Amino acid sequence: MAVVLSIKGLVKAYRPGVPVLKGIDLDFEERGLTAIIGSSGTGKSTLVRSVNRLVNPTEGSILFKGQELSRIEGKALREARRRIGMVFQEYNLVERLTVMENLLTGRLGYVGLFDAWLRRFPADDVAYAFRLLDVIGLAGFANQRADSLSGGQRQRVGIARALMQRPEILLADEPTSSLDPKTSVEIMELLKFQGIDHNIPVLVNIHDVDLARRFADRIIGMTGGTVVFDGPPEQLSDDHLKLIYGGEGWLQ
């Protein structure tokens, strides 16, 4: 399979001399769900956010389908971001807008300001939004306000919003960390199968090792800003987990 996203020598230091990411080299292929695991503060989030430049890398290169993303600005950056869908831990919906309006924000990168103001989106986009509402099991919720939804429903809307972009890659930053175990599984299923349906790679930061094992095609283990494990879930042993998280009492 072809490589669509290639990260080389990625370093991020929020404060000079204290790097959070210490030279990451990773390639991602055009399909499959990759789970990134590691303890809090180890740079998983920074890594994922570097891809769509919500975090600006200090050094290194991020090559996405032949385009270098690490240094672009302005219009080029906005156009690159349109091709990258993102799902957040706290859902990050616009609370006071309806579900439909939230989905359509996924198209804001394409619609002029005046049309956006008057809620004049192309008929295609609106039809696609209704289809996605069906897919995420929220048909009939179009005119409900986002702040009236439960956590699981909000995250579904978050995923649908990302899919509205018709993205070429889907990033998810701890998408299940605020959800109960059952809902977490449903959200992971949605991410996994939407990735397959749309034929795009999915990158998920996740705390839950069991969920990662269950859904990922590939697991990346990080500790202290470096990658210490990279392979299929079957190869992830307890020794690896000790290396990734440190200690072993929690494994029993």
Partner 1 sequence: MAAVSAVWQRHSRGQKLARTVLWLLVAAAVAASLKGIDVIWEFLWDAPEQVADMAWRMWPPDLAYYPQEVHKALMETFHIATVGTIFSMLFALPLAILAAHNLTPNKALNLFAKTCLVASRSVNSLVWALLFVAVFGPGPMAGTVAIAFRSIGFVGKLLGEALEEVHFGAIEALKAAGATQTSQILYGYWPAVKPAFWSIMLLRWDINIRESSVLGLVGAGGLGMIMNAAIDTFQWERVATILLTIFAVVVVVEIVVTFFRRRLI
- Return the bridge partners of 218, or none: 34
Q: Report how far residue 111's alpha carbon sits from residue 117's, in angstroms, rounded to the nearest whole number.
A: 10
Nearer to partner 1, 90 or 238 (CB): 90
Contact 202/191 with Cβ under 8 angstroms? yes
Is residue 145 classed as helix, strand or coil in its secondary structure?
A: strand
Shortest distance, position 144 Cβ to partner 1, whole Å: 15
Shortest distance, position 31 Cβ to partner 1, whole Å: 22
Contact 138/153 with Cβ under 8 angstroms? yes
Shortest distance, position 14 Cβ to partner 1, whole Å: 16
Shortest distance, position 87 Cβ to partner 1, whole Å: 9
Residues within the interface to partner 1 (CB under 8 A):
52, 54, 78-82, 84-86, 88, 90-97, 101, 105-109, 113, 116-117, 158, 161-162, 165
Nearer to partner 1, 121 or 141 (CB): 121
Shortest distance, position 227 Cβ to partner 1, whole Å: 24
Nearer to partner 1, 108 or 228 (CB): 108
Nearer to partner 1, 86 or 206 (CB): 86
Contact 222/36 with Cβ under 8 angstroms? yes
Nearer to partner 1, 99 or 236 (CB): 99
Contact 38/219 with Cβ under 8 angstroms? no
Contact 114/63 with Cβ under 8 angstroms? no
Phi-psi region of 106 (alpha: psi -120 to 50; beta: other; left: phi over 0): alpha
